[in-house]
Amino acid sequence: MKKTLLPGIVLAVLLAAWMYVVGFTGWYKHPTMQAMFWFVVLIQIVVLTCVIRGAARAGSGFAGRFLRGAGTSAVAAPLVFLNSLLFTQVVFPGYFGEIRAAQESLLRSKGLPEAEITEALKVAASMENPYLHAAFGAIGTIVTGIVVSLIVAAVVKKGASK
C-alpha cells in the first residue's frame, strides 16, 4: 500500500486535472469534442507504465509489478469518485443538462424523428445521476488499471532499466 499511495494520488490528480481541462474549455458540451475526455485512459497508461517499470527496477516479479499498478488504480478510484461528484455537483452543476442539450442538438441535426429523439434522451436521462456517473468513473479507473497492469507487468521484465 505504501508504494501505491503516492502514485495513486498522483494518478487521481492528473485524471482530475484533465477532467477540469475538458470542463473549463467546454469540450463536454460539444459532441465532436466530448471524446477528448477519453484522454484519461492514456494518462492512466502512462502513469501505470512508470509505476510498473519502477517496480521492475526494484526487482519485483510479475505479481509484484501487477499489484503495484492495480494498487495504484485502487488508490486513485475513490479520489476519482469524489472528484466526479465535485465536478458535476459543485463546479459544473449544469453538466448533465448541458450534455443533454448537446445530445439533443446532435440528434436534431441528423434529422431524426421527434419520437426517436425523445426516446434517446429518455434513455440518456436514466444515466444522468452524479453518483452513478462517479461510480462509473471509479469502476473505469479500476478496470483500466487491472487491464493495463496485466499487460504492462507482462511486457516489462524484472530488473528492466528502460
Question: Is 106 inside any structural domain?
Answer: yes
What is the arithmetic mean of pLDDT over 90-106? 90
Alpha-carbon separation of residue 96 from 52, 148, 160 (angstroms) = 36, 30, 45
The verdict on residue 109 lying in a domain is yes
Q: Does 162 fall in a domain?
A: no
**Is residue 68 assigned to a domain?**
yes
Mean pLDDT of the 147-154 span: 98
Alpha-carbon distance of 54 to 60, in angstroms, equals 9
- The crossing angle, in degrees rounded to 10, of helices 2-25 and 62-86 is 40
pLDDT top residue among 80 and 106 = 80
Assess if residue 160 is contained within a domain. no
Q: What is the mean pLDDT of residues 77-87?
A: 98
| Residue 11 counted as domain residue | yes
Q: Which amino acid is at 14?
A: L
36-76 pLDDT tens trace: 888 999 999 999 999 999 999 999 999 999 999 999 999 99
Task: Give pLDDT, residue 125.
Answer: 86
pLDDT value at residue 33: 81
- Determine the structural domain holding residue 121 and report its residue range: 2-155
In a domain? residue 161: no
112 in any annotated domain: yes
Counted domains in the chain: 1
| Banded model confidence at residue 141, pLDDT cuts 50, 70, 90 | very high
**Whole-number Å distance between alpha carbons of 123 and 117:** 10
Quick one: pLDDT band at residue 161, thresholds 50, 70, 90? low
pLDDT of residue 150: 98
